[in-house]
Structure 1
C-alpha cells in the first residue's frame, strides 16, 4: 500500500494481531457490537481500526489507512512522506470481515471523531459485470469494488 498524498505521518500503529480466519456470524456480531456500543472516549480505537496509519496531507486534510497487516508498517510518526511511498501492507486487523484496506479522508486526525471528506481518485479500476474497467478522476460509490491500476499510471 502506497501513500495517497505528500505529508507527515501522525500515527503508525502496527502491533495489533490480525484476526483469524473469517466467520460470517461472529464477524457480523462483532461489527454490530462495534457499531452500536463502541465508545471512543473509553474504548481503544485500535479494536476497530486494527493496525493503521494517520497522515496529515496538508491543511485540514488527513488520511486514515486502516486494517493493515501486523508488522508491515514501514513508516513512523513524524516522518515526512511523498505520494507513492511504501507505507505497509493491506491486512485483516481490527473490525474486519476479510483482508481489505479502509481508506478515508477526514477534517481532523481523530479517526473516531473526524468528519469525512469527499475523495476522488486520479486512476483506478472498478469491477463491473465480472471484469475490471478503468476509471479516470472518479469517485467510487460505497458499493464499488475497486483496485489500483498501475498500468494506467
Structure 2
C-alpha cells in the first residue's frame, strides 16, 4: 500500500441538462486546484514490481485500508463512489509506473478471470480487453500488466 485518502465528499448524481454547466465548471476548478480533487477518494497500491494501481472515486468513509497496509488480491479496499471529478458513481482504475497519479505514465493492462457482456472487446490470450463503454464482470479481480 502506498497511499489512501477517503475524506472527499460524494456528489449527488447529476443526470439533468440543468446540472451540466455546473458539472463542467466544478470539474475545471478541480483540475486547477489539485489532482487529488480530480481523483477524489482513492487508494494507490504498490505491486512491488515497479507498477502501481490507483483506485479512484471511492465512496467517502468506505476505505478499509490505511497507508502502509499490506493487501492481498481479492481484499476489499473501499466501495465504489462518486467523489472527485465524477458525474456518476463508478470505479476508476489505472495501472501506472509511479506512485503519484500526477506524475505517472499509464501502463497497459488486461483483466483476467472476467466475463464480457455482448458488444465488443476481445480476449487476446493474455486477458480480456473490454471495448469502450463495455460492461464486464470481474470474477477474480486480477489485473495483469501487459
TM-score range, shorter chain: 0.7 to 0.9
1:1-153 maps to which residues of 2 (within 5 A)? 9-25=1-17, 26-27=19-20, 30-31=23-24, 34=27, 38-39=31-32, 43-128=33-118, 137-149=127-139
Q: Which residue matches 1:4?
A: none
TM-score relative to the length of structure 1? 0.75
2:31 & 2:58 partners in 1: Cα distance? 20
**RMSD over aligned Cα, in angstroms?**
2.7
Aligned residues: 136
In structure 1, stretches of 5+ residues that fail to align are: 1-8
| Long gaps (5+) in structure 2 | 141-146
Query: Which structure ranks higher in relative contact order (CA pairs < 8 Å, sequence separation ≥ 6)?
Result: 1
Q: What TM-score comes out, normalization by structure 2 length?
A: 0.79
Instruction: List structure 1 runs of 4+ shifted beyond 4 angstroms.
Output: none
